Structure 1
Amino acid sequence: MIQEEIAEQVKEVIQEDIWGAIKDFLEYEIFHLGEKKPIVLTVGLLLFVIVVLIVTSVFLRFLKRIITRKMENQDKQKFESVFSFSKYFVYLIVIFFALDSIGFNITGVFAASAALLVGVGLALQTFIQDILSGIFIFMDKTVHVGDIIEIDDKIGRVEEIKLRTTRTVTIDNKVLIIPNHKYLTSTLYNWTQNGTLTRESVSVGVAYGSDTKLVKELLIKAAESNSYVLKNPAPLVLFTDFADSSLNFKLVFTISDSFIAHIPKSEIRFEIDRLFRENKVQIPFPQRVVTLLKEKE
Structure 2
Amino acid sequence: MLPVDEKLVDIPKINAQTIKLLNLSIGFGLIIGLWLIWGNILPAFSFLDEIVLWDHKATVDGKDIFQPITLTNLMLSGLYIFVMVIAVSNFSGLMELFLFRRLDMEPGSRYAINQLAKYVLISIGLIAVANELGGSWSQVQWLVAALGVGLGFGLQEIFANLVSGIIILFERPIRIGDTVTIGDVSGKVSRIQMRATTIIDWDQKELIVPNKNFITNQLVNWTLSDAITRIVIPVGIAYGSDIELAYKVMMDTIKSTPTVLAEPEPSVLFLGFGESSLNFTLHIYVSELRNRLPTTHDLHFRLEKAFRENNIEIPFPQRDVYIRRDKPADKTE
- TM-score class, shorter-chain normalisation, is 0.5 to 0.7
Asked whether 1:149 is paired with 2:180, we answer: yes
| Residue 44 of structure 1, aligned match among 66, 69, 73 | 69
Q: Distance in 1 between matches of 2:233 and 2:111?
A: 40
Which protein is bigger by CA-based radius of gyration? 1
1:245 and 1:287 in contact (8 A); partners too: yes
Residues 118 and 250 of structure 1: CA distance in aligned 2, closer, same or farther (over 3 Å):
same
RMSD between aligned alpha carbons? 4.5
Q: Distance in 1 between matches of 2:146 and 2:191?
A: 37
1:196 to 215, 227, 231: 227
**Residue 86 (structure 1) shift:** 4.3
Deviation at 1:52, TM superposition (A): 7.2
**What are the superposed Cα offsets for residues 101-138 of structure 1, whole Å, 9 maximum, x if unpaired?**
x8x78556544685577558866554444433232222
Matched-pair contact (CA < 8 Å) for 1:82–1:163: no
CA distance, structure 1, for counterparts of residue 71 and residue 316 of structure 2: 82
Q: Is the 8 A contact 1:208 1:247 kept in 2?
A: yes
Q: Alpha-carbon deviation of 1:175?
A: 4.6
Shift of 1:237: 0.3
Identify the match of residue 119 of structure 2 among 47, 63, 85. Answer: 85
1:258 is aligned to 289
User: AA paired with 1:82?
Assistant: L
SS of 2:297's equivalent?
helix
Q: Is the contact made by 1:202 and 1:269 (CA closer than 8 Å) also made in structure 2? A: no
Instruction: Between 135-144 and 260-269, report the one with greater CA deviation.
Output: 135-144
C-alpha distance in 2 between matches for 1:70 and 1:53: 30
In structure 2, stretches of 5+ residues that fail to align are: 1-45, 58-64
**Cα distance between partner residues in 1 of 2:165 and 2:285:** 33
Measure how far apart 1:176 and its partner are.
4.5
Q: Which residue of 2 aligns with 1:37?
A: none
2:119 alignment partner AA: F
Query: What is the deviation of 1:183?
Result: 0.9
Q: Report deviation, 1:92.
A: 5.7
Which of 52, 61, 83 is residue 26 of structure 1 equivalent to? 52
Change in 2 beyond 3 A, CA 1:283/1:119: same
1:157 aligned counterpart, secondary structure: strand
Which of 215, 218, 242 aligns to 2:249? It is 218
Letter in 2 for 1:44: I
Aligned equivalents of 1:108, 1:233: Cα separation in 2: 64
- The amino acid that maps onto 1:195 is D
Q: Secondary structure at the match of 1:264?
A: helix
**1:139 aligned partner, one-letter code:** F
- In structure 2, the CA distance between the partners of 1:116 and 1:191, relative to structure 1 (3 Å rule), is closer
Deviations 1:75-98 (A, max 9, x none): 333122123234445556667788
Q: How does 1:107-118 map to 2 (within 5 A)?
A: 107=138, 109-111=140-142, 115=146, 118=149
- TM-score under structure 1 normalisation? 0.67
- Kindly indicate whether residue 294 of structure 2 is the aligned counterpart of residue 272 of structure 1: no
| Change in 2 beyond 3 A, CA 1:111/1:173 | closer
Q: TM-score, structure 2 length as denominator?
A: 0.61
> Alpha-carbon deviations, 1:160-179, whole Å to 9, x = none?
43444444444455554444
Q: In the alignment, residue 69 of structure 2 is paired with which amino acid? A: G
8 Å Cα contact 2:80-2:128 kept in structure 1: no
Q: 1:196 to 1:27 in 2, by over 3 A?
A: closer
Equivalent residue number for residue 35 of structure 1: none
Q: Distance in 2 between matches of 1:249 and 1:239?
A: 4
- 1:179-206 CA-to-partner distances (Å, cap 9, x unmatched) read 4333124322122223232222321122
